[in-house]
Amino acid sequence: MDFELMITSFPKLLGATVVTLKLLSASLFFGLFLGLFFAILRLNKNIFINKFAYGYSYIFRGTPLLVQIFIIYFGLGQIEYLRTTFLWVILKEPYWCAIIAFTLNTGAYTSEILRSAFQTIKPGIIEAGKSLGISNKIIFYKIQIPIAIRQSLPAYGNEIILMMKGTSLASTVTLMDLTGVAKYIISTTFKPIEVFIVAGGIYLFMTFIIHNVIKYLEKKYSFQQ
């Protein structure tokens, strides 16, 4: 064990964690809206809208995240026509390709989490609102959405942790995130065990923080029995 290498690589890895956190927060932010949008589409009675939303979540939950990143980064990059459009400004950058892939992926999972949360809301609660003369729109925004968010907290916490670990795939499209920098250090020191232990420790610490924040939120917004 080369403890000196572990100590000297720690600050470098910590610096790279900023990139990981940026990727994570950006994709979770966009993914939450995308997920909510598709969850609402899933609840729509129109069969085409419903199937479209289902198809989206089916495709992105049914294929590996690595494949999705490769298709968006290397795949789209091979289409000559695309390179002449304004889209190339975004797709040229590995950073945005990673965020697009992560957003589409987490959006699919989030839509499923929120959909099931909406469906578990007891009809009685909505009926109670209606009997008080509250409009459907207000019932949706003030009753259904808050309950659904509370219901989905444990599952969504899981999704955040999965996504945090998923960001390590950004290193496959040349980004210098936590895993990318760890690989870079290994490529010059040839000592994978030491470097990966430190990187793994940082990932574990982030999981610890996310886990506890979600636990706190669950407690804070728990239903009074």
Partner 1 sequence: MNIFKKTILTVLASLFIIGNVSAEKIKIGTEGAYPPWNSKDASGNLIGFEVELAKELCAIMKYECTIVEQDWDGMIPALVMRKFDAIMAGMSITAERQKTITFSQGYADEVASLAVMKGSSLEGMDTPEGINLSLGGSDVKKALKTLTGALAGKTVCTQTGTIHQNFLESGDVGSVNVRTYKTQDEVNLDLTSGRCDVALAAAVAFTDYADKSGKPVVLVGPTFSGGAFGNGVGVGIRQASDSAIGKRDAKILKDFNKAINKARKQGIISKLAIKHFGFDASM
Contact positions vs partner 1 (CB under 8 A)? 74, 77-78, 83, 92, 94, 172, 174, 183-184, 186-188, 190-192
Instruction: For residue 187, give Cα distances in angstroms to 14, 94, 195.
Output: 18, 21, 11
Whichever of 54 and 184 has its CB closer to partner 1, that residue is 184
- Closest approach of partner 1 to the CB of residue 176, in Å: 9
Residue 78, φ and ψ in degrees, nearest 5: -90, -10
Whichever of 31 and 180 has its CB closer to partner 1, that residue is 180
* Contact status, residue 159 vs residue 209, Cβ threshold 8 Å: no
- Closest approach of partner 1 to the CB of residue 180, in Å: 9
Q: At what angle do helices 178-189 and 3-43 cross, to 10 degrees?
A: 150
Instruction: For residue 8, give Cα distances in angstroms to 4, 172, 179.
Output: 6, 24, 16
- Closest approach of partner 1 to the CB of residue 74, in Å: 5
Question: 3-state DSSP helix/strand/coil percent for the chain, to nearest 5?
Answer: 85, 0, 15
- Closest approach of partner 1 to the CB of residue 92, in Å: 6
* Contact status, residue 13 vs residue 181, Cβ threshold 8 Å: yes
Whichever of 188 and 225 has its CB closer to partner 1, that residue is 188
Whichever of 74 and 208 has its CB closer to partner 1, that residue is 74
What is d(CA 189, CA 16) in angstroms, rounded to the nearest whole number?
18
- Closest approach of partner 1 to the CB of residue 194, in Å: 11
* Contact status, residue 68 vs residue 105, Cβ threshold 8 Å: yes
Whichever of 42 and 183 has its CB closer to partner 1, that residue is 183
